[in-house]
Amino acid sequence: MWTTSLNQYGRTMNSSSLPALNIHLPRKKQVSFKDLERYKWVLREGGSGTGELVTNYITNKCTITTELTLSNPDAIKNYIRNNLCLTCVSNNIYSPKTDNDIATINVTGFKLVRPFYLLSNTDKYQTNAAQALYQLLQDS
């Protein structure tokens, strides 16, 4: 299973430069889905499994306004750095060390799990590395 968390991406700004509507969200330790409705969103394009999963999950909890749809997570991060928007991406593309200008927020009740499947041909020889990977995935 793969778990994702909701990330707010945006450039670091002084509170005096933020519009009044937006001042409170980045400072809260926890926010609700209702809080998310005040922001525009940047989403993954249709056909992205993660993008569709996230969009369906969030839109069942609140109403969001999509500002832009992009094809990959790096393009989303670059866009968000220059615009005050929200997005949801995998933890795998976010690194506090390299993305120190990006803030994450915790959303109360946000839990999204996406299953992945390992497919292999059992009629073919399995290397030790492939067997070790299979065992590691089974144990996690």
DSSP-derived secondary structure for 14-72:
-GGGS-GGGSSGGG-SEE-HHHHTTSEEEEEPTT-HHHHHHHHHHHTTS--EEEEEESS
Please give the model's pTM, rounded to 2 decimal places. 0.62
Q: Which domains does the chain have, with CATH numbers?
A: 2-139 (3.40.190.290)
Which position has the higher pLDDT, 42 or 21?
42
Tens-digit pLDDT profile for residues 81-130: 888 888 887 777 777 788 777 777 778 888 777 777 778 888 888 899 98
Alpha-carbon distance of 125 to 1, in angstroms, equals: 26
CA distances from 137 to 1, 3, 112 (A): 9, 14, 19
- Reading the block at residue 12, the tokens are 């670091």
- DSSP state, 93? G
Which position has the higher pLDDT, 27 or 2?
27
Alpha-carbon distance of 35 to 38, in angstroms, equals: 6
Phi, psi of 16 (to 5 degrees): -70, -20
Alpha-carbon distance of 128 to 136, in angstroms, equals: 12
